[in-house]
Chain A
């Protein structure tokens, strides 16, 4: 796997908006990557490494880990006609209640702050998860407010790493060779 470097100035922290999750609102062969999390103020992916620790009879501690199960919540996700990811999820979850479709969504996480060492400028590290489970946990909100539709994502299926570029709002993913 390629080595990556942070492409931001040394000594400076990295802005949150350089880490973006996208939902494929196109097709598998011709994906359209739509950003997830419009108007969301705080969202982090959680890595569950399924750790186990044990102490042997000599008193030494050992640990085991598995590849992580990565989950992420987005809340409140206020509905907006200009948000194609939300509209697609609303159709699947609220209109169709299509559990099978919701459990096999194609998603891409792009780390715009990380560039392959010696790689093309503008290409950022990206991970594509072919079969993510997206759970719509509710729809509603307080009176006088806006309709929210929070979601929980479990990134799953085949994981393909590569790079992504963003030109005029269009994101293109290229798998690593």
Chain B
């Protein structure tokens, strides 16, 4: 049994609701300031998408501790998705939707992370995958998404 298997067998310990809310608010504001989001002329919402066009951030898994340190601190992870909804009439428009989300993910990976205050130290913000379609509706509306993982420590 390797280290990851052992970790998965442990019960997940969630961080406090206040901490998760702080993370979501800070990440959302930071992403809204990014050029790839602004290029879409959309505001990144949270857990909400309009009927035909919008951009939202949605929690994949509540922030949970991935390691507990002997001095009392911990390492934690918050996974979220960015979903881009738009009408795509051909392949080019679908590719453009993926391109936009991949650009957001790349920006998040390579730019200075936001300031979460003294308690939270950023370890990494990285893409868990590349953008792809996950829903198509009758009226030509499509949802594309990208998954992002935020790793941090509270020490």
Q: What is the interface of chain A, defined by CB distance below 8 A to chain B?
A: 15-17, 19-20, 35, 37-43
Contact = CB atoms under 8 A, between A and B. Distances in A.
B34 interface: no
A17 B67 contact: no
B71 A37 contact: yes
A38 B68 contact: no
Contacts of B75: 39
A162 B71 CA distance: 21
Interface string B120-155: 000000000000000000000000000000000101
B72 interface: yes
A39 B73 contact: yes
Contacts of B153: 39
Contacts of A35: 71
B71 A41 contact: no
- Classify the interface of chain A: helix, strand, loop or mixed: loop
A54 B68 CA distance: 43
**Which of B67, B69, B70, B73 neighbours the largest number of chain A CB atoms within 10 Å of its CB?**
B70
A16 B68 CA distance: 10
A41 B153 CA distance: 13
Contact of B155 (A39, A41, A43): A39
Given A39-B75, A40-B70, 14 more contacts: A15-B72, A16-B68, A17-B69, A17-B72, A37-B69, A37-B71, A38-B155, A39-B69, A39-B73, A39-B155, A40-B69, A41-B69, A41-B70, A42-B70
Contacts of B71: 17, 20, 35, 37-38, 40
A164 B20 CA distance: 35
A41 B3 CA distance: 12
Nearest to A18: B72
Contacts of A41: 67-70
Contacts of B70: 16-17, 19-20, 37, 40-43
Interface in B62-96: 67-73, 75
Please list the 5 inter-chain residue pairs (A to B) with the smallest Cβ-Cβ separation, ordered nearest first: A17-B72, A37-B70, A41-B67, A40-B70, A16-B70
Nearest to B69: A39
A119 B67 CA distance: 35
Contacts of A20: 70-71
B76 to A, nearest CB: 13
Contacts of A42: 70
A39 B153 CA distance: 9
Nearest to B153: A39
A107 to B, nearest CB: 15
Contacts of B67: 41
B108 to A, nearest CB: 18
Contacts of B72: 15, 17
B128 to A, nearest CB: 16
A37 B68 CA distance: 12
27 contacts: A15-B72, A16-B68, A16-B70, A17-B69, A17-B70, A17-B71, A20-B70, A20-B71, A35-B71, A37-B69, A37-B70, A37-B71, A38-B69, A38-B71, A38-B155, A39-B69, A39-B73, A39-B75, A39-B153, A39-B155, A40-B69, A40-B70, A41-B67, A41-B68, A41-B69, A41-B70, A43-B70
